[in-house]
Chains A and B, each alone.
Chain A
Amino acid sequence: MTAAITVDGLEVIFDRFRALKGVSLEVRSGESFGLVGESGSGKSTLLRAIAGLAPVASGSITVNGKTLGARRDKAFYREVQMVFQDPYGSLHPRQTVDRLLQEPLAIHGFADGEKRIERALDEVGLGNGFRFRYAHQLSGGQRQRVAIARALILEPSILLLDEPTSALDASVQAEVLNLLEEVRRRRKLTFLMVSHDLAIITHMCERLMVMQGGEAVENLTAAQLVAHRVAEDYTRNLLRASEGFVRA
């Protein structure tokens, strides 16, 4: 299996704050990989650095065999798309769904926009009836479906998912997670997914990396985590916390 994403010794520095302190990672092609940790652990920064949204100080990022420079070209965004956490903030409030989905198509010069929009909406389970609505006319789950449709419309091979369901109700979360699994299976996508919820990561991913304070704590397979075969205390704490409240 070839590597879809290779990150080597990545440092991200905001002013004087080192958000990532030399993190390395390899995501194989077609695999679903999870990043877990509490807020401030650098998991989202790692994802944003890959997408070109964080200032990289040193280290290298290689995507599908190509080492990335400081700027991302158009070809990169045809391969890699991102879904953000907050569906209330990531859709333009004054654009219809149709307009939102046309934007990436126009940027990349696709001619068959009409057909692609119909197909993308269909794929995420929103009919054509949603095409001319605005974001505020949609529920949180429907908005996240639009965000997923927007990411899929360029037919990328890699999806970066930053807490895609943490703003949603539990029941809607299940629907969105099922949708993500289904499109991954159908399109043979590679996922790199960030979440603070261990249960979601073990459900969605085969392998994962636990992060704390801008560093990697340990690399695990989902099966090891389920069997509680973890080496670090930090991971054990996270596992205990995910089991709910226990009266002392």
Chain B
Amino acid sequence: MRKLLASIQKEYRILIRDIGGLSLMFIMPLVLVFIITILQERTYQTIGETRVPVILIDNDLDSVGAAFSQGVKDNRFFEVTLICGADSVQMVETRDDVATGKYQMGIIIPEGTTGSIRNRVVALVQQQVPAMMNVDTANLKQSVQVDLFFDPITKESFRNIIKSNLREFSSKIETRIVFITYSRIIDAMIQQTTNIEYPEAPVIEFDESYVCEFGQKDMPSSVQHNVPAWTLFAMFFICIPLSSNIIKERYDGCLDRLKTMPVSYITVMLGKLLMFLAVTMMQAAVIVMVGIWIIPLAGLPQLQLGSNFAGFIIITISAGLAATGFGIMIGSIGKTYMQASTFGAVSTVILAALGGVWIPLYVMSPAMRQISQLSPMNWGIQGYYEYFLRDAAFTNMLPYAFKLIAFFIGCILIVYFYKKYIRQ
């Protein structure tokens, strides 16, 4: 036990004095969590969460124009700049602003829109009411052309969503005019003023949420993905300092010296394993704390924790073991620092890419999702998703923990058989 404690103490001292290694293990993943979270935030947000800059020219200057402007303003999709009564120069400037990307969309409500719609609706209503037979059929054919112009980079899907929303507004306005017109006719027929307001609130409301095992959670954000994903990346990145540590010990002759001393190779490696496992635990703690307290300061959503903290701990320990096992394997098999650090960095990036660190698993194609199951980082992410996104039970996280522990055991067995082979 004393030998193991001495080994842990030695590793600790070497680690805290290796500024480069420490920054690789702590600062690099924190910077990555910040940068990638900020970069992915816009991509992550659904169209409903992103406010599109829109310029609206209301040349109608009447109730339809006002209602339309208000409808667009109230919509969470849009960030509206309103111009009431634009001249021809302003119209041209508006088109230029959209063309240069200042606005993603321009809407022009033409002059007389209210009148045209009103005439059409009134004519429509008059057709239905036998008491009023003076129907102007020309009004029934009237249509209003609202000009929409888009930034050329705007996607087709986005344009369709916008048009669909605008149709929804115009339908609402039309319905309201129909309602008001009918109200007036009925008032005239019964010779009473009813003053019934058109109900603005929709009949059908949608209540959206992601379903979790023990209740409902908020919508996942880029933080919910990036914090666990980059925690795993950071953990696996310790394979570089860990493998370099092993190779340096071998090259300096320290390992040979230890082999001539009454201490087992397992004790020496266990000292490294426990120290670097502790590092991975610290990495996870620091990155999660940053997700809870620091990331929100940058205007990003706060990391939401699940309720089964024991599950988080078991996934973190298993992932830490898998990462240290991987580092020990690279350090034991690698011949030079260059070989180990290059292989360590490249393999970590590949495992991360396959495992769903860079791109979330649910965005991947079905084939890639199958392949990604080969990566231990995938098992870690799946385990963390159970905790951070699905708020699942402890038992749901165990299969991923077992896979990670099996990976660790596999790495250690490879080292054992490799050493045996080399010795022979």
Chain A bound to chain B:
no
